[in-house]
Amino acid sequence: MMARALALAEKGLYTATPNPRVGAVLTQDDTVVGEGWHEKAGGPHAEVLAIAGKKAEGGTLYVTLEPCSHHGRTPPCTELILKSGIKRVVAAVLDPNPKAAHGGKVLAGNKVQFESGLMEAEAKELNIGFFSRMTRGRPWVRMKIAATLDGRTALADGRSQWITGPEARKDGHRWRARACAILSGAGTVNADDPRLTVREVQTPRQPLKVIVDGRNEIPEKAKVFEGGNILIFSGSAPARTTAAEHVVLPNKDKKVELPLMLEELGRRGINELHVEAGFRLNGSLVREGCVDEFLLYLNPSFLGDEAQGMLSLPAFSSLEARLRTRVSALERVGEDIRILARPV
């Protein structure tokens, strides 16, 4: 039943942000009588859809996240559960949002049997960005890199279209679509002139486009400005006025203070941040502890020593000092290999 609830929750993968992806299954005597999933902020919660119009009295509700107990855009789900006569609620994981938490205690205090922890790891993984924002105040940062077997991501002049094949590029757009925002840097915008939009897969919304432009270098005619929905972080106020919103967060070098940028994105409700940048910005994000996960596509080709690498990192004095990651998934996508890895 919980596995089914998680499958329902995944339907909100592209749409639920900034809310968590939640699914619910209502049962009577081990028979499913109602299902629901949360589609978008302001819409009905999964519990509401699972219970609506169903015979709920005496039943069991399986839900991937602890039911909320506060008034937000919608009424508390705990009130509906208590009115419906449900006798048992099983949640995969407790809600990390302090405003919405304690729904389980409310239910238990009203003689509803409440349990949590069933398939907890899977539920957290599905909402890894939401948990990051609620517990750390910043989004989950996933850095996508397309490289050759010798670790090269672009020619010496910065050109990188296209290193990987069409299947890998389409797969990369799926990861873009699930993110709340896509981040790139001025170097990538100037070299490749990307749109930073989801095009290869259907999606009802486009992620926010975030550009790190420390010295206000990107041209006004860059494709990234098309359609708006763009936020630029700079190290100083821009000399010209653009349609984009600018946030000035200078560091000591008068570039962008990257950890503070993540905090600002967290305040704006960004759960998952998808990075597609050049090796310099990639390196800066890694050095400043801003990267939670690497999404790496390896193409079976070589570009040689003059081409650009994945990350601009300082030389390590020993093998023990190297940046270590743990591979969480490895899969072939067309002619390329996709690796998911997280810093140890």
How many Å is the Cα radius of gyration of the chain?
22
189-209 pLDDT, tens digit per residue, is: 988 889 999 998 999 999 999
- CA dist 196 and 205 (Å) reads 13
Question: Are 35 and 144 in a shared domain?
Answer: no
The tokens 């270098």 sit on which residue?
A: 217
Q: How confident is the model at residue 286, as a pLDDT?
A: 95
Same domain? For 187 and 66 the reply is no
Q: What pLDDT band is residue 71 in, cutting at 50, 70 and 90?
A: confident
Domain count, the chain: 2
Q: Could you tell me if 122 and 178 lie in one domain?
A: no
d(CA 253, CA 270): 26
Q: Which residue shows structure tokens 């968590």? A: 20
Looking at the structure, tell me whether residues 82 and 212 fall in a common domain: no
Distances (CA, A) of 185 to 189, 192, 229: 6, 11, 16
Q: Are residues 272 and 189 in the same domain?
A: yes
Whether 172 and 297 have beta carbons less than 8 Å apart is answered as yes
pLDDT at 241 (0 to 100): 67
Residue that finishes a domain, picked among 89, 109, 126: 126
Indicate if 206 and 157 belong to the same structural domain: yes
Active site residues: 47
Helix (H/G/I), strand (E/B), else coil: 338: strand
Q: What is the mean pLDDT of residues 227-243?
A: 84
Contact 94/101 with Cβ under 8 angstroms? yes
What is the pLDDT at residue 64?
98
pLDDT for res 288:
93
Kindly tell me if the per-residue pLDDT of 157 is higher than 80.
Answer: no
Domain CATH code at residue 160: 3.40.430.10
N- to C-terminal Cα separation, the chain = 33
The pairing of strands 60-63 and 230-234 is: unpaired
Q: What is the pLDDT of residue 127?
A: 98
* 233-242, 257-266, 274-283, 310-319: which is most confident: 257-266
Q: In the chain, where do the E strands start and end?
A: 23-28, 31-37, 60-63, 88-91, 113-116, 140-148, 152-154, 181-185, 208-212, 230-234, 245-248, 272-275, 293-299, 308-309, 325-333, 336-343
| One domain, residues 68 and 97 | yes
pLDDT of 310: 87
- The span from the CA of 332 to the CA of 344, in Å, is 23
Separation of alpha carbons 130 and 124, rounded Å? 9
> Considering 96, 126, 156, which residue would you say is the last residue of a domain?
126
Lookup: tokens for 218: 């990107």
Per-residue pLDDT tens for 307-316?
A: 888 888 888 8
Domain C-terminal end among 126, 161, 194: 126
Give yes or no: residues 150 and 296 share one domain. yes
Asked if residue 176 and residue 258 are part of one domain, the reply reads: yes
At 81 the three-state DSSP class reads helix
CATH code of 9's domain: 3.40.140.10
Q: Quick check: 331 pLDDT over 80?
A: yes
Share of the chain above pLDDT 70, in %: 99
121, 178: one domain: no
Give 170-233 as a DSSP string: HHHHHHHHHSSEEEEEHHHHHHH-------SS--SS-PEEEEE-TT--S-TT-GGGTT--EEEE
Residues spanned by the domain of 40: 2-126
Taking residues 223-247, report their average pLDDT.
86
- Whole-angstrom distance, CA of residue 217 vs CA of residue 97: 38
pLDDT at 13 over 80: yes
Q: How many alpha carbons fall within 13 Å on the CB side of residue 89?
A: 32
Unique residue bearing structure tokens 């006569």: 85
**304 and 191 in a common domain:** yes
Using DSSP's 3-state secondary structure scheme, residue 137 falls into coil
- Do 90 and 220 lie in a common domain? no
> Which of 146-150, 171-175, 265-269 has the least mean pLDDT?
146-150
